[in-house]
Amino acid sequence: MNLRLLRLLVTASIVGILAACSTPVPLGPSDPSARPAATGPAAAVVPGTLAQAKSRWVPATWSELPGFDGDALHEAWNAWLRSCERPAPAFAPLCGDVRRLSIASAEEQRGWIMQRLQPYRIESLDGGAEGLLTGYFEPFLEASRRPGNGFVVPLYAPPADLGRRRPWYTRQQIETLPEAQAQLAGRAIAWVRDPVQAMVLHIQGSGRLRVQEADGSQRLVRLAFAGTNDQPYRSVGRWLLDQGLVRDATWPGITAWVQQNPQRVNEMLWSNPRYVFFREEPLDALDAGFGPKGAQGVPLTPGRSIAVDRQSIPYGTPVWLASSGPTAELSRLVLAQDTGSAIVGAVRADYFTGWGQEAGDLAGRLKQNLRLWALWPKN
């Protein structure tokens, strides 16, 4: 999904926090073996440059950060407080101040950031500072504990033999083969109405359900990622393009095609053999104000959490994000708290837009230029 929606993202997997929290190392004349030799304009290394596996961080001034003086920092502070629940080693000593400043003014917060942190322009190893921003979100679906009355698409917990049989059945086999359906008997968490919305939930890897219980009451729950069938992920948007069925493989374009071709929906869905299984989590009033947990292990904050390549930016790093395009104008502080299989490269981010229809519409359209600055503790 040019989003995590019908782009190339699949589900965010929880990965090793220790590996993700690596500290950048100095890269300069005193450390010539840290990276392969560069050629051309990128050959000269700026003193104080730091290196990650897939990026280099070049020292910058605060004046280089577009819009730094005007951001509503208190919004980002909510995400930063979440990161302090599982802080990267470099940021753990700052978390006391982060908590104390949660009720401070924007001017106080900005002053503290400038005093304690150093901005670094994130570049590719060959010196490129431009990248790509996309978006992802948390779907919000109506559901029922029982099939019927239009609720016909099951959302399953993992089958008992998932770990023993690899790969498991494909999406088409799960929906058509009696032996596969037998393995899933009694495993349905809930049923939803629309198979395409269910696919979006699979691609995003988590979502919210307003579930109608057997007694008629309603309850808000979250479905979290619990595993896959280990089949390869195939983008349905790419399938539509390859078939010559659409020119616009964004979510609005795919939706329009689905409405015009209901008889071919299964063919489209079955082009992606990967299938996701879920676990149900309670969603109280506090949890409902945040998104699902990202790869850092903390809940995501709408508009202030991004997914990154962890070999470019360690989890928990505050990042200044600047992106200008037809969908959104963004200059703001965000926290690197998640990852995804299509989020690869030095200057690459997936922007968490929140949950529900409006967030999905924004995520589905977001595909534009990106610049990033890491904010790292001063020595």
Q: Which domains does the chain have, with CATH numbers?
A: 138-287 (2.40.240.50)
The torsion region of residue 12 among left (phi > 0), alpha (psi -120 to 50) and beta comes to: beta
Average pLDDT, stretch 34-40? 38
To the nearest 10 degrees (0 to 180), the angle between helices 73-83 and 106-116 is 50
Q: For residues 210 and 281, what is the distance between their CA atoms, to the nearest angstrom? A: 12
pTM over 0.85: no
pLDDT above 70 coverage of the chain, percent: 89
Position 379 scores a pLDDT of 79
* pLDDT at residue 9, as a whole number: 37
* Confidence bin at 19 (pLDDT 50/70/90): very low
Q: Which of 10-24, 152-166, 235-249 has the lowest mean pLDDT?
A: 10-24
Q: C-alpha distances in angstroms, 148 versus 120, 193, 212?
A: 55, 9, 12
Euclidean distance between CA atoms 138 and 78, whole angstroms = 18
- Residue 286's pLDDT band, with cuts at 50, 70 and 90, is confident
**Residue for token pair 């479905």:** 223
The closest of 128, 98, 83, 146 to 316, measured between CA atoms, is 83
Averaged confidence pLDDT in the chain: 88
Give the H/E segment covering residue 357. Answer: helix 356-365
> 123 pLDDT band (50/70/90 cuts)?
very high
